[in-house]
Amino acid sequence: MERHVLVVFPHPDDESFAAGGTISLYTQAGIPVTYACGTLGQMGRNMGKQVFANRETMPEIRKKELQDACRVMGIQDLRLLGFHDKMLEFEDVDFVADRIEEVIRDVNPSLVITFYPEHGVHPDHNAFGRAAVRAVSRMPEEERPVIYAVAITKNRTEVLGEPDVVIDIGDVFETKLAALAAHRSQTEAMMEETKVKVQNKDAQTLQWLQFEKFYTYKWN
């Protein structure tokens, strides 16, 4: 049983795509989950299926969508770290790690969920994963929380092997879909297609949605 789970991702919707079911399973089991979100995703390309956002309104829209998704998943503690979207790769890793470490010290998690450094595809994903690992590395080894790291590079299996944590989120499948749908500006068109595929029992879509996969980060 986890004591407290800390989710560390750079963008609104990262949490729902990568771990929405896992988060929901923890909150439904009464385990507190804190989400440290790095940016408001204000540079996101999508502006809604029927365009309803622009560069000026995007930050507040995505903030509201994130709050809605957190309610769906049962996250009661959302920390907005205030970095700028698509600029994390240019921040000093220790500066970003400082902000994450503040949250770690505050909530004392037994588990951290983040992106696997260099396997997040997006530069912000990799930068935030590096900073999360750096923050945890500063702790005495015996006090460090376990890190579940999400890898999405095409060569992840060749480099890292098979994921050692596979979580069947079938019991909260609809909750994950609802969390994804809450990020409407980014996901509306995709969710319409996804729901059709789910109804048609498309095996690849069901596999992607129902099983969330993580690598337990190994310290060198």
CATH class of domain segment(s) 5-216: alpha beta
Question: At how many degrees (to 10) do helices 14-28 and 173-182 cross?
Answer: 140
| Token pair recorded at residue 55 | 């560069």
43 touches 141 (CB < 8 A): no
User: Which helix or strand (DSSP H or E) is residue 211 part of?
Assistant: strand 211-216
| Alpha carbons 168 and 185: distance in angstroms, whole number | 27
- Which is nearest to 125 in space by CA: 159, 165, 83? 83
What is the chain's Cα-based Rg?
17
| 146-150 and 211-216 beta bridge pairing | antiparallel
| Alpha carbons 9 and 59: distance in angstroms, whole number | 16
Mean pLDDT of the chain: 94
Structure pTM? Answer: 0.96
| Token pair recorded at residue 76 | 């009661």
Residues 108-165: tens digit of each pLDDT = 999 999 999 999 999 999 999 999 999 999 999 999 999 999 999 999 999 999 999 9
| 111-115 and 5-9 beta bridge pairing | parallel
Query: Domain map of the chain by residue range?
Result: 5-216
| Token pair recorded at residue 104 | 């770690």
User: Partners of 35 in the beta sheet?
Assistant: 7, 78
219 touches 137 (CB < 8 A): yes
Position 88 scores a pLDDT of: 95
Q: Which residue shows structure tokens 């509201």?
A: 64
- Which is nearest to 189 in space by CA: 45, 49, 13, 46? 49
Residues 14-63: tens digit of each pLDDT = 999 999 999 999 999 999 999 999 999 887 776 656 666 667 888 999 99
- Which is nearest to 30 in space by CA: 80, 79, 76, 67? 76
Q: Average pLDDT, stretch 95-119?
A: 98
| Alpha carbons 45 and 62: distance in angstroms, whole number | 12
- Which is nearest to 167 in space by CA: 135, 102, 212? 212
